[in-house]
Amino acid sequence: MVIGVGNRMRGDDGAGLAVAERVRAAGIAGREHEGEPVGLIELWSEAGASAVVLVDAVSSGATPGSVHRFDASSAPLPATWSRSTSTHALGVAEAIELARAVGRLPQRVVAVGVEGACFELGAGLSPAVEGALGEVVEQVLGEARALLSSVEAPDAARS
Amino acid sequence: MSDTPRTRTIRTDYLARVEGEGAMYVRLDGEQVADVKLRIYEPPRFFEAMLRGRAFGESVDITARICGICPVAYQMSAARAMEDACGVAIDDGPIRDLRRLLYCGEWIESHSLHVYFLHAPDFLGYPGAIEMARDHREVVERGLQMKKAGNQVMTVVGGREVHPINVRVGGFYRAPTRSELRTLVDPLERAREIALDTVRWTTELSFPDVDRDTELVALSDPGGYPIDLGRIVSDRGLDIDPAGFDEHIVEEHVEHSNALHARMRDRGAYLTGPLARYNLAGDRLRPTALEAARAAGLGPQCTNPFQSIVVRSVELVEACDDALALIAGYEPPGRPWVEVEPRRAVGHGATEAPRGMLYHRYEIDDDGTILDARIVPPTSQNQLAIEADLRAVVETHMHLPDDQLAHRCEQAIRNHDPCISCATHFLTLTVDRG
């Protein structure tokens, strides 16, 4: 499943949510979440997801609209994710590590970060992020399909 | 961290485990605490502006967006204020019961997050939930199970887990059936057991010996423990209708924060939240929660903010028990809402969010257009009291190294579960030692 994390009321922080919406339109399970860590763990636990792509806005100083990717299946998100001023990167990093500590982390977890430009209350997506969405969605769909096949393969072999 | 002979500064990039964003600054002048400031970036101001010009019925959906942890509190205070403006009072009956049930769900969700994931690490000696989880998986599992029961109440009554969509001014769009509510009985009974275990577990924790003398303010509901309605009372004699809020409580702009700080006119700081509710209305707890409190050694008064984890656990028992009683006595209403006709008026609403009293005031026009909105969240009411707690902590722990002092300060803030904005998770902490 794809989980878009963010807050639509805070400018580019809504990027993850916009991606989840478009992913859903493409026929892949896409959920939206505010990024509170325990709620995130519940979301993927309840769904029994074995593979998750988390999409969030980040603010690391890179060019707005650029895309970061990190496979968190067996390693924590790097500090640049959790120390950024992105409003929810910390929630995502915490959720992953908390879940890992109690054995509730899906088998495969990939985080995709969209570099944001503006996180002001009441703002919409910035042109840079809006313009990058199509590409981000394609990348996320590619990740999702690859993960799905990687976790489904063992099942297919058994049946 | 930087050191000079004259000044030491501690800076942590964020204060973990506090919902929201903000900053704390402590300046020491020798052995004196020269200054303590808690800075808060507060979204309600933005929402107040956004509400102006919107229809009165939209208030419940717009204000629910202010907080991802306590949307029901915003919805309930907004609905009550709008109903008050329009001359409607839903103080009993099945619609009120459903509101209270939904609110219990939010208390369960919010308190379980705070007790098990945010506050527990402070007492078990871990920097955070992740480190705690590695050694105390059972605490995390308890928290997850507990919170899930709250989620289920929110889903069945509110229409979904967060930001309920079933709430309207006057009641609900749709009332759940009795059999739908019955599906909540098993999870709530299990949650009540977990909550009782948790109250017992808190007796194993050790608490610093702190005794705060802050005015305590909570709602007073003659029918039970205060959640969804009541007069505003304090332990210093305040006893007013929510409409009297402005007369007794002033909000001031302070230079270091874009939030308004509320204070009791002529008296100053006051505290709302679990400690205030327990001290003012502990005798109205249902028997199960009251017995649990007494068995855990909690007397009729509790003025140690560190013990708020015990009080929150008792309130978890109360919320589960109350929810079960509401479900047992539920008769679906003929129509799940009452008609609320707009008129030009001002209305006030106050309810008990998990972290404290939440006050809304609206002025609406004849056609229901919102002319003015005012939202006073619990955190801005508690801000002065939290600063006073911080000052006391710094005064008594000045001898600690900077990092340990900073950690003590964080704990003092966390005691009050401040929902600084829910929009972000960052708080900068600075300690200057002159």
pLDDT of residue B335: 96
Nearest by CB to B424, from A45, A87, A122: name it.
Answer: A87
pLDDT of residue B12: 36
Average of pLDDT values for B55-68?
Answer: 91
Confidence of residue B271 (pLDDT cuts 50, 70, 90): very high
Are B424 and A41 an interchain contact pair (Cβ–Cβ within 8 Å)?
A: no
Confidence of residue B115 (pLDDT cuts 50, 70, 90): very high
Residue of A41, A98, A104, A119 to mutate when probing chain B, most B C-beta within 10 A: A98
Confidence check: pLDDT of B248 > 90: yes
How would DSSP label each residue in chain A? -EEEE--TTSGGGGHHHHHHHHHHHTTS-EEEE---HHHHHHHHHHTT-SEEEEEEEE-SSS-TT-EEEEE-SSSPPPHHHHTSS-SSHHHHHHHHHHHHHTT-S-SEEEEEEEE-S---TT----HHHHHHHHHHHHHHHHHHHHHHHHHHHHHHHH-
User: B25 CB near a chain A CB, below 8 Å?
Assistant: no
Confidence of residue B434 (pLDDT cuts 50, 70, 90): low
Nearest by CB to B148, from A9, A42, A85: name it.
Answer: A42
> Which carries the bigger pLDDT value, residue A76 or residue B328?
B328
* Three-class SS of chain B: CEECCCCEEEEECCCCCCECCEEEEEEEECCEEEEEEEEECCCHHHHHHHHCCCEHHHHHHHHHHHCCCCHHHHHHHHHHHHHHHCCCCCCCCHHHHHHHHHHHHHHHHHHHHHHHHHHHHHHHCCCCHHHHHHHCHHHHHHHHHHHHHHHHHHHHHHCCCCCCCCEECCEECCCCCHHHHHCCHHHHHHHHHHHHHHHHHHCCCCCCCCCCCCEEEEEEECCECCCCCCEEEECCCCEECHHHHHHHEEEEECCCCCCEEEEECCCECEECCHHHHHHHHHHHCCHHHHHHHHHCCCCCCCCCHHHHHHHHHHHHHHHHHHHHHHHHCCCCCCCCECCCCCCCEEEEEEEEECCEEEEEEEEECCCCEEEEEEEECHHHHHHHHHHHHHHHHHHHHCCCCHHHHHHHHHHHHHCCCCECCCCCCCEEEEEEEC
pLDDT of residue B388: 92
> How far lies B223's CA from each of B92, B230, B282, B318, in Å?
10, 9, 13, 14
pLDDT of residue B68: 76
Quote the pTM value: 0.91
A122-136, B56-70, B308-322: range with lowest mean pLDDT: B56-70
| % chain B with pLDDT above 90 | 67
pLDDT of residue B2: 38
**C-alpha count within 13 angstroms, C-beta hemisphere, residue A152:** 8
Q: Please give the Cα distance from B166 to A63 (Å, whole number).
A: 41
Confidence of residue B429 (pLDDT cuts 50, 70, 90): low
Confidence check: pLDDT of B20 > 50: no
> How far lies B297's CA from each of B301, B315, B317, B412, in Å?
11, 15, 16, 22
CB contacts of A36 in chain B (<8 Å) are 68-69, 113
Are B46 and A122 an interchain contact pair (Cβ–Cβ within 8 Å)?
A: yes
Residue of A5, A82, A83, A121 to mutate when probing chain B, most B C-beta within 10 A: A121
Structural domains in chain B, sorted by start: 7-208+329-432 (1.10.645.10)
Decide: A119 and A7 in contact? Cβ < 8 Å: no
Distance from CA of A68 to the nearest CA of B (A): 20
Q: Please give the Cα distance from B248 to B267 (Å, whole number).
A: 10
pLDDT of residue B430: 67
Interface predicted TM-score (ipTM)? 0.84
Number of Cβ within 10 Å of residue B183's Cβ equals 13
Are B133 and A9 an interchain contact pair (Cβ–Cβ within 8 Å)?
A: no
Please give the residue of chain A at the shortest CA–CA distance from B140.
A102
For residue B131, which amino acid is it? E
Confidence check: pLDDT of B258 > 70: no
Number of Cβ within 10 Å of residue A98's Cβ equals 25
Decide: A18 and A128 in contact? Cβ < 8 Å: no
pLDDT of residue B420: 52
Q: Please give the Cα distance from B298 to B301 (Å, whole number).
A: 8
pLDDT of residue A122: 80
Q: Please give the Cα distance from B294 to B172 (Å, whole number).
A: 37
Confidence of residue B396 (pLDDT cuts 50, 70, 90): confident
Q: Please give the Cα distance from B103 to B374 (Å, whole number).
A: 22
User: B419 CB near a chain A CB, below 8 Å?
Assistant: no
Among positive and negative, which fits the CA dihedral B157, B160, B163, B166? negative
Are B130 and A101 an interchain contact pair (Cβ–Cβ within 8 Å)?
A: yes
Distance from CA of B331 to the nearest CA of A (A): 31
pLDDT of residue B421: 42
> How far lies B261's CA from each of A97, A159, B251, B256, B275, in Å?
36, 64, 5, 11, 20
- Nearest-5° angle of CA A95, CA B313, CA B104? 80
Residue B275 class from Cβ within 10 Å (0-12 exposed, 13-18 middle, 19+ buried)?
A: buried
Strands A30-33 and A2-5, how do they pair? parallel
pLDDT of residue B52: 97
Confidence check: pLDDT of B347 > 90: yes
pLDDT of residue B215: 97
Number of Cβ within 10 Å of residue A42's Cβ equals 20
User: B423 CB near a chain A CB, below 8 Å?
Assistant: yes
> Token digits for B218?
């909570």
pLDDT of residue B232: 98
For residue B8, which amino acid is it? R
Q: Which residues of chain A have pLDDT under 50?
A: 83-89, 155-159
| % chain B with pLDDT above 70 | 89
Are A101 and B137 an interchain contact pair (Cβ–Cβ within 8 Å)?
A: yes
Number of Cβ within 10 Å of residue B397's Cβ equals 15
Confidence check: pLDDT of B21 > 60: no
Furthest-apart CA atoms within chain A: distance in Å: 51
Residue B430 class from Cβ within 10 Å (0-12 exposed, 13-18 middle, 19+ buried)?
A: middle
User: B11 CB near a chain A CB, below 8 Å?
Assistant: no
Q: Please give the Cα distance from B230 to B242 (Å, whole number).
A: 8
> Token digits for A43?
């979301």
Cα B86 to the center of its chain, rounded Å: 27
pLDDT of residue B431: 67
Per-residue pLDDT reduced to its tens digit, B178-234: 999 999 999 999 999 999 999 999 999 999 888 889 999 999 999 999 999 999 999
User: B50 CB near a chain A CB, below 8 Å?
Assistant: yes
pLDDT of residue B226: 98
Decide: A52 and A108 in contact? Cβ < 8 Å: yes
Reference B280, options B210, B231, B349, B212; nearest CA is B231
pLDDT of residue B76: 98
> Token digits for B43?
């979204």
Are B130 and A94 an interchain contact pair (Cβ–Cβ within 8 Å)?
A: yes
